[in-house]
């Protein structure tokens, strides 16, 4: 099952789960539309051929959804009855925070073994260095920012580019470093508008005639439009523009990194279930497979590397 926001590489993970399970002598079922499909019994047996030619495709062939009904006991009970009806006795749930919160409650209520795979572009899960889709999303941002840089240069403009990440700044930080952003604004640090405009002014006086500011959507400045408005009020001479990258960050063919990560974790998920793991997310930390209890994966935020933030600023001076 894939659930929550889709991310590039989910298909590679589905393929790995299906084929590893079949190789291990198991029957495999796909649940469509996440927990919604579990409640509505949208469950079908999958075969090796069901997952042919998908390793390179973005999105998820199982579709996905965010389910309000699964937050209620009656929804979960209905879902449990459907799983029993199909003789399903373990689940691989590919998703993020919401998916694992639901999985954790479901396991406690119905004693149901579940392994989670980190499928989200946000990279906001503890217990894995990277989530499936994060690398591709960063590459998408970098490609877009490079294009914006061309026009920013030609017109001598300042661009505020807003990127996804919910309340985490991982996409912003990594893509900002890669595209040489002048500033990166993330929720993990406070943005002081007066300080920010002072630095901008200083940069422009010294050498800059154009620039890129990567703004994480969860930044406390209120997002790219808000910060651009405040900068224009203070520095009316600056020709500023805003680009919200939005859902293009969630689509596209997964990078090689994401395909390998997803394939490895899909394989590990089945092996883990067969080896008695449950209630945990499979991840890779320092090249090692790690199983992290759902509660920890959700609640213990990975820290953003503040030194990388400082580095990005030094390198852009
Ligand atoms: O969690 C992935 C994500 O793309 C976030 O970065 C973003 O805040 C959110 O999902 C958007 O969700 P939706 O597609 O439901 O609007």
The structural domains of the chain, with segments of one domain joined by +, span: 10-133+254-299, 135-250
- Quote the CA–CA distance of 26 and 136 in Å, as a whole number: 31
pLDDT of residue 280: 98
Closest residue to atom 14 of ligand 1, CA basis:
5
- Quote the CA–CA distance of 55 and 32 in Å, as a whole number: 18
Could you tell me whether strands 240-244 and 158-163 are parallel, antiparallel, or unpaired per DSSP bridges? Answer: parallel
- Quote the CA–CA distance of 203 and 216 in Å, as a whole number: 21
Distance 5 CA to ligand 1 centre (A): 6
Whether 194 is a known active-site residue: answer no
Read off the pLDDT of residues 281-301 as tens digits, 9 standing for 90 and up: 999 999 999 999 999 999 887
298: phi then psi, degrees, rounded to nearest 5: -80, -45
Identical fold between 10-133+254-299 and 135-250: yes
Look up tokens 């030194």; give the residue. 307
Distance 246 CA to ligand 1 centre (A): 9
Point out the catalytic residue in the list 6, 27, 111, 122.
122
Read off the pLDDT of residues 90-133 as tens digits, 9 standing for 90 and up: 999 999 999 999 999 999 999 999 999 999 999 999 999 999 99
Closest residue to atom 11 of ligand 1, CA basis:
5
Angle at the Cα of 176 (from 306 to 163), degrees rounded to 5? 105
CB within 8 Å of 287: residues ≥ 6 apart:
none
Confidence of residue 158 (pLDDT cuts 50, 70, 90): very high
Q: Give the up-direction half-sphere exposure of residue 237: CA atoms within 13 A in the CB hemisphere.
A: 6
Question: For the purposes of burial, counting CB atoms within 10 Å of the CB of 106, is it exposed (0-12), middle (13-18) or buried (19 or more)?
Answer: buried
Is the domain covering 135-250 a CATH 3.30.70.20 domain?
Answer: no
What ligand 1 atom has the least distance to the C-alpha of 217? 8
Angle at the Cα of 129 (from 51 to 190), degrees rounded to 5? 125
**Best substitution site from 2, 3, 5, 10 to test ligand 1's pocket, by max atoms within 8 Å of Cβ?**
5
* DSSP, residue by residue, 41-75: T-EEEE-GGGGTT-TT-SS-TT-----SGGGSHHH
Task: Give which of 78, 64, 66 is closest to 109, Cα–Cα.
Answer: 78
Residues in contact with ligand 1 (CB, 6 Å cut-off): 5, 96, 120-122, 164-166, 217, 250
Mean pLDDT across the chain, nearest whole number? Answer: 97
The structure's pTM equals 0.97
* Domain boundaries 10-133+254-299, CATH class: alpha beta
């Amino acid at each position: 099952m894939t659930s929550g926001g889709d991310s590039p590489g989910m298909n590679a993970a589905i393929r790995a789960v299906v084929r590893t399970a079949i190789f291990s002598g198991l029957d495999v079922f796909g649940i469509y539309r996440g927990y919604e499909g579990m409640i509505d019994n949208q469950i079908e047996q999958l075969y090796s051929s069901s997952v042919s030619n998908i390793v390179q495709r973005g999105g998820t062939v199982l579709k996905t959804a965010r389910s309000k009904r699964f937050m209620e006991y009656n929804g979960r009970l209905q879902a449990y009855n459907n799983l029993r009806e199909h003789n399903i006795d373990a689940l691989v749930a590919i998703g993020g925070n919401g998916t694992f919160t639901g999985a954790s409650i479901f396991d406690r209520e119905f004693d149901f073994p579940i392994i989670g795979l980190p499928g989200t572009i946000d990279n906001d899960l503890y217990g894995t260095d990277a989530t499936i889709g994060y690398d591709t999303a960063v590459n998408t941002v970098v490609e877009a920012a490079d294009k914006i840089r061309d026009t920013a240069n030609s017109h001598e403009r300042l661009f505020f580019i807003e990127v996804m990440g919910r309340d985490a700044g991982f996409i912003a930080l990594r893509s900002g470093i890669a595209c040489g952003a002048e500033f990166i604004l993330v929720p993990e640090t406070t943005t002081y508008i007066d300080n920010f405009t002072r630095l901008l002014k200083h940069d422009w006086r010294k050498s800059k005639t154009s620039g890129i500011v990567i703004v994480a959507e969860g930044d406390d400045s209120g997002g790219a439009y808000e910060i651009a408005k405040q900068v224009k009020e203070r520095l009316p001479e600056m020709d500023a523009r805003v680009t919200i990258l939005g859902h293009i960050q969630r689509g596209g063919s997964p990078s090689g990194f994401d395909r390998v990560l997803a394939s490895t974790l899909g394989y590990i998920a089945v092996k883990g279930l067969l080896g008695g793991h449950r209630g945990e997310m499979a991840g890779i930390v320092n090249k090692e497979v790690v199983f992290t209890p759902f509660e920890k994966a959700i609640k213990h935020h990975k820290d953003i590397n503040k030194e990388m933030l400082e580095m990005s600023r030094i390198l852009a001076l």
